[in-house]
Chain A
Amino acid sequence: MPPAAPRSGDAIFASVERVNAELFTLTYGAIVRQLLTDLEEVEEVNKQLDQMGYNIGIRLIDEFLAKSNVSRCVDFKETAEMIAKVGFKMFLGVTASVMNWDADGTCCSIVLEDNPLVDFVELPDTCQGLYYCNILSGVIRGALEMVSGNEDGSHLDS
């Protein structure tokens, strides 16, 4: 039987059940607020968000692979494109762009124009240094670790 062709992020996003975006934004906001109350240190909250994201990522990767039918990426550039175009589209409904590649192609930025996590959010001065979307970098770190094992995490600037 010939292998199934990879599906686009749009097609998969359209085929799964979706939830109200505002509920999602509110839920995430509640999590971050609660973490700030419990842990008080902004660095601790960043670490916790990253860890939560990691736990999500290690499970999410199999769903991504099952639904999208992609084959193994040949290099990191392809991996980054896959995450930005298919991954983010499939799970958040938004497309990200990959930019700021460094000289040896080992480091890049994934930029989200429209991030559902941060709708209506304004960081106060007391939370300087908080990586509000750090859960996303944890998710990517966890997911990549399951398929290759040696990625270095980084933070996302909101």
Chain B
Amino acid sequence: MDTNDSLRVASLWHSMHAISQQLSPTTGCSGIELLEADTFDLHCFQSLTGTKFFVVCEPGTQHMEALLKVVYELYTDYVLKNPFYEMEMPIRCELFDINLTQAVQKDRVALLGR
């Protein structure tokens, strides 16, 4: 998925998340956490600062919340601590990409056992 597609998905999700918070019949709702579709699941984690992390995976994949937590920690390390990263801009930090790939790979190995 290239940058433009990523931005499109992210902005679409941001709006849907905000709308769902307003529409929710339960009080104290903080937005969509899980979207289940036929061909994919979308798990979303929102930090207290409002930054949202979401992962699209195969339907029924377990432990995505833990993965999102790991991604949050990677973000606070490799993105926020990079003085040349401008807040709210697309992330172009190589270390973040490398560590993110490793985390996803480790997760995949743990889940599939290979």
With known contacts A1-B65, A66-B72, A67-B73, A59–B80 Cβ distance under 8 A: yes
The answer to whether B73 and A66 have CB atoms under 8 Å apart is yes
The answer to whether B49 and A63 have CB atoms under 8 Å apart is no
The answer to whether A62 and B66 have CB atoms under 8 Å apart is no
Among B63, B65, B76, find the residue whose CB has the most chain A CB atoms closer than 10 A.
Answer: B76
- The one of A1, A59, A66 that contacts B47, using a Cβ cutoff of 8 Å: A66
> How many residues of B sit at the interface, in one of the four size bands?
10 to 19
- B71: nearest chain-A partner, CB-CB: A66
With known contacts A1-B66, A59-B81, A147–B76 Cβ distance under 8 A: no
- Alpha-carbon distance between A1 and B73 when the two chains are bound, in angstroms: 18
Q: Describe A's contact surface by its main secondary structure.
A: helix
B51 contacts chain A at the CB level, 8 A cutoff: yes
Question: Which A132-158 residues have a C-beta within 8 angstroms of B?
Answer: 146-147
**In the assembled complex, which residues on chain A have CB atoms less than 8 Å from the CB atom of B72?**
62, 66
- The one of A1, A66, A72 that contacts B76, using a Cβ cutoff of 8 Å: A66
- B64: nearest chain-A partner, CB-CB: A1
- Alpha-carbon distance between A60 and B75 when the two chains are bound, in angstroms: 11
Contact string against A for B residues 50-89, beta-carbon threshold 8 Å, 1 for contact and 0 otherwise: 1100000000000101100100110111001100000100
The answer to whether B48 and A63 have CB atoms under 8 Å apart is no
A65 contacts chain B at the CB level, 8 A cutoff: yes
- Alpha-carbon distance between A147 and B47 when the two chains are bound, in angstroms: 9
- Alpha-carbon distance between A72 and B50 when the two chains are bound, in angstroms: 12
B111 → chain A closest CB, angstroms = 15
The answer to whether A62 and B75 have CB atoms under 8 Å apart is yes
- B50: nearest chain-A partner, CB-CB: A146
Mark B residues whose CB is within 8 Å of A. Answer: 47-51, 63, 65-66, 69, 72-73, 75-77, 80-81, 87
